[in-house]
Amino acid sequence: MSIGQAISRLDGSRKVTGRAKYTADVEVEGALHAVLVPSTVPSGTIAAIDAAPAEDAPGVVRVFTHLNTPKLAEMTNPPAGQTIMPLQGDRIFYEGQPVAMVIADTLERATEAARRVQVTYRNEPFATDFIAGLDRAEARPLFGLPPDSSVGDIEAALSGTNVRVESVYGTADRHHNPMEPAAVTALWQDGRLEVYDAVQGVVDTRNTLALALQMEPQNIRVRNDFVGGGFGCKGWLWPHEVLAALAARELSRPVKLVLTRAQSYTSHGYQPASRQTVTLAARSDGALTGIRHQSVLAGSLSGDHVEPSGWGTPALYASPATQATHRVVRLNRGNPTPMRAPLEGVGLIAVEIAMDELAYELGIDPLALRLRNYTEIDPAEGKPFSSKKLRECYAEGARRFGWSSRTVEPRSMRDGRNLIGQGMATALFRTFRSPAKVRIGLDQSGEVLIETSTQEIGTGVYTIFPQIAADVLQMPVERVSLSLGDTNLPESPMNAGSRATLSTGSAVQDAAAKLKAKLAEAGATTPDGYAEAVARQGVDRIEAEGDWTPPEEATHAMYSFGAIFAEVGVDEDIPIPRVRRVVGVYNAGRIINPKTARSQMTGGVVWGIGQALLEKSEMDQQHGRFLSKNLAGYLVPVNADVPEIDVSFVDDFDEHVGPLGARGIGELGAIGVGAAIANAVFHATGIRVREVPIRPEHLLAMAQSSY
């Protein structure tokens, strides 16, 4: 059995030796280089643009501006990252918006020429301050769905209770910062477009490029072998991809465009800041009677993204009445986009800190409060969960962490100069499923090749999918390889929403079963006879096509779950919170590979530490732009910030979610960590911080009082 085995990554050696080829590594003979010229103002119009100094520079082939760029089709968001197509008019909606693109024979010459493009603006008033714009918040659809949802009579639930807590909670603007910058190389030949692109969905990119360029999808090919991190920012189509493809078509020359690190802060989204008001009402015994979760989020004038931060709230606890609302403040910023972890990753910061506050108000242990409101039925949908082992996650997490030895009172635990705090939170992430297709074949040498258009973004599919096929075919996983990241291969969904293993993996399983049946028909009853059976057929290989499509209507509510326990230390005099250890126990159905799964969850916990204590994209409100567009000024966790992380799973087979019995985990690990750390900081210091990241200035009152 290959499924369930802790197999090391089959692509690991390629990555650590540098043999893995990423998009920017692709060399195409005769390729030109493109460099974008970004707007330096956040709002206004282009009064004049003088490209002549750039056009006269050595090696320059063309300078595209709004005056000479061919018309693009209007787009919606998604599948485009923003609704404003690049270089289509003189309006400026955000700082960093492309106002020109320089094409030259070398990157250095293109970069120098881009500096020579002279742009004069008619500045207009702008709005980039999210907090100042809260009174302008408006309701907009959530991916085509209503912005508000409710179950039960929320007003009655909140008015007739014994205990009620209500507070405002905040999360910060954050940027994805993948190690690999966004990169694209486009080639035009004989009416066809071939694109190497660092994206999380080659099929989606092909289809969206076809819309933008008004081409037939079959005349576009998009591919990549590896993506060096995406985390959401490489999920949709952004201006740099459209412009590179358009330039290749216009010039009939290959064009390569790689965003700078600074441009990645304005060119493919970010996680928007939020202000969330959470009201919890409960009886004196801890039973919830009502949950109201009101979210206001940063948005953009260049797109329609609204973070659905309240989507998971109604499924969390057994409350007879729940309401979730969403409003957005449209700003002169680039359009936000999903970021690991979207949805509950933003919303549970607020709800799970509020649950901790309610526990202290009631005098009930925070874990006991959650168990008191445990539910096997999704209150929002009225459906049973497809599989839920969250109770077991609570128990195992508490045991591994030593939760029972925690003293309840804030500031009651010490280690020398450090105040010690312990907190916990629940993690929940909804399950996304998509149709997928796979081709699998076995050749005369007995080697198996899986072919599908899915992408490798660091999650381990080069190992997981061969494991699934090897398990069905009962052969060593080392004899199974995977070809992916190409729209010429059978179509699979984008790697987003933690859907790859469930969706494409189910198609792999189907294809492998069909291949096994064909081999049996050819006389191969055991793996030892597979190669001979192919030879007897007189063919190079025997192939089978597999597919999987989720049912249109689900009979069960589908989520993955987790319980997070965190311990922090805070020096009384230098109040910098330090995470000392984290325990996370997760339930995500069947775990295909415990080793890669633990890697995913550990990485997610590190993301949670960053959200809790470090990550914030600061805005210069005077000039309407993000500050410190680099990793020198944007803090991410480093080794010194990451403590002992204990990750484990409560494994089970979810028969309702799909034939593999597995749900998604890619985003789950980043959820709940921030709230658990915030709750631990309160336990350590007695100071309730209701926004992340938690900075020393939030705790300065404690330090000052100790002098």
Tens of pLDDT along 673-704? 999 999 999 999 999 999 999 999 999 987 66
For residue 211, the model assigns a pLDDT of 98
Location of structure tokens 């326990």: 565
pLDDT at residue 243 greater than cutoff 90 = yes
pLDDT in tens, 527-536: 999 999 999 9
Closest CA to 494 of 481, 485, 507, 483: 485
| Eight-state DSSP code of residue 8 | P
In this structure, the number of other CB atoms found within 10 A of the CB of residue 189 comes to: 11
Q: What is the four-CA torsion angle of 129, 133, 138, 144, rounded to 10 degrees?
A: 10
What confidence category does residue 706 fall into, taking pLDDT thresholds of 50, 70 and 90? low
Paired strand residues for 46: 121
What confidence category does residue 160 fall into, taking pLDDT thresholds of 50, 70 and 90? confident
pLDDT at residue 707 greater than cutoff 60 = no
Could you give the count of Cα atoms lying within 13 Å of 217 in the half-sphere of its Cβ?
Answer: 11
Q: Is 667 a catalytic residue?
A: yes
List, in order of start, the domains of the chain with CATH numbers.
23-125+179-229+234-265 (3.90.1170.50), 343-431+557-705 (3.30.365.10), 434-548 (3.30.365.10)
What is the distance between the alpha carbons of residues 135 and 132, in angstroms, rounded to a whole number? Answer: 8
Closest CA to 459 of 206, 182, 664: 664
Paired strand residues for 64: 101
Contacts of 684 (CB under 8 A, 6+ apart): 410, 411, 413, 419, 420, 421, 568, 569, 570, 577
What is the distance between the alpha carbons of residues 625 and 623, in angstroms, rounded to a whole number? Answer: 6
Q: What is the four-CA torsion angle of 418, 608, 563, 506, rounded to 10 degrees?
A: -160
pLDDT in tens, 182-235: 999 999 999 999 999 999 999 999 999 999 999 999 999 999 999 999 999 999
For residue 24, the model assigns a pLDDT of 96
What average pLDDT does the structure give for the chain? 97
pLDDT at residue 58 greater than cutoff 80 = yes
Pairing of strands 436-443, 448-451: antiparallel
Strand order in the sheet with 436-443: 480-483, 448-451, 436-443, 541-548
pLDDT at residue 577 greater than cutoff 60 = yes
For residue 1, the model assigns a pLDDT of 82
DSSP string, 280-309: EEE-TTS-EEEEEEEEEEEEETT------T
For residue 161, the model assigns a pLDDT of 78
The answer to pTM > 0.85 is: yes
pLDDT at residue 414 greater than cutoff 60 = yes
First and final C-alpha spacing in the chain: 63
Percent of the chain whose predicted confidence (pLDDT) is above 90: 98
For residue 162, the model assigns a pLDDT of 87
Could you give the count of Cα atoms lying within 13 Å of 141 in the half-sphere of its Cβ?
Answer: 7
Could you give the count of Cα atoms lying within 13 Å of 8 in the half-sphere of its Cβ?
Answer: 5
Contacts of 673 (CB under 8 A, 6+ apart): 425, 427, 564, 566, 582, 584, 604, 605, 607, 608, 609, 611, 612
Closest CA to 167 of 83, 279, 245: 279
Total number of residues shown for the chain:
707
pLDDT at residue 599 greater than cutoff 60 = yes
pLDDT at residue 705 greater than cutoff 80 = no
In this structure, the number of other CB atoms found within 10 A of the CB of residue 56 comes to: 10
**Stretch 358-385: mean pLDDT:** 97
> Is the CB of residue 9 less than 8 Å from the CB of residue 460?
yes
In this structure, the number of other CB atoms found within 10 A of the CB of residue 411 comes to: 18
Marked catalytic residue, from 95, 357, 451, 667: 667
pLDDT in tens, 618-661: 999 999 999 999 999 999 999 999 999 999 999 999 999 999 99
User: H or E element: which one contains 371?
Assistant: helix 366-372
**Stretch 395-407: mean pLDDT:** 98
